[in-house]
Amino acid sequence: MSEREAISLCQKGELEYFSVLYEIYFDKIYKFVYLKTFDVNLTQDITSETFLRALNKINSFKNNSDSNFNAWIYRIAYNLIVDDYKVANKSVSIDEVLELWYDNNFTENLDNKEKVKEVLDFFWTLNPKHKQILIMRFWDDLSFKEISELTWESVANCKKVVSRTLMKISWTYMWLLFILLFV
């Protein structure tokens, strides 16, 4: 069953088909939330609330060729994360996300840890918004349109950020970047 069919059936009151959407998006949303909170319990709570809100508001989703359920459910999760940060007055730096890649014993398996460190050092010099766009593009595997909707940046600007940043990285280290982003 396709995503659009499941949405349509849910909107007709056959809510048992929401499980199709849950199966498609659970891992993605969980990872997205965890990389923003770094707290398993909070991640579970926000992920659950995301799906509960999506189910409760499924009729507000415009299920047509111009709509994007992926962006819609990510927006719900993102808003819940923002709400949690406002209530708790928390702050997590995007550098902590990048640090996860470096500290995850991943580099012990590489021949040249120094190259990995150079790539990460480069990332730490980037504007936080640019780092966020890169993580959404490569780690969360979001489209430029979805990133644009989440960051309120234009699609063209999101593409430009990714393109210019990748161009700055020497081709020698490019493969390391992709390994880091996709592991």
pLDDT at 64 over 60: yes
Q: How far apart are CA 52 and CA 177, in angstroms?
A: 36
Domain residue spans in the chain? 3-88, 94-182
Residue 181: Cβ within 10 Å count: 14
97 contacts 75 by C-beta, under 8 angstroms: no
DSSP 44-102: HHHHHHHHHHHHHTGGGS--STT--HHHHHHHHHHHHHHHHHHHHT----HHHHHHHHH
Q: Which CATH number fits domain 3-88: 1.10.1740.10, 3.40.50.1980, 1.10.357.10, 3.20.20.70?
A: 1.10.1740.10
Please report where in the chains the tokens 């969360």 appear, as a residue: 140
What integer pLDDT is reported at residue 97 of this predicted model? 45
Question: How large a percentage of the chain has pLDDT more than 90?
Answer: 32
Residue 39: which region, alpha, beta or left (left: phi > 0; alpha: psi -120 to 50)?
beta
Is the pLDDT reported for residue 88 higher than 80?
A: no
Q: Which of 42-46, 50-54, 158-162, 170-174 has the lowest mean pLDDT?
A: 170-174
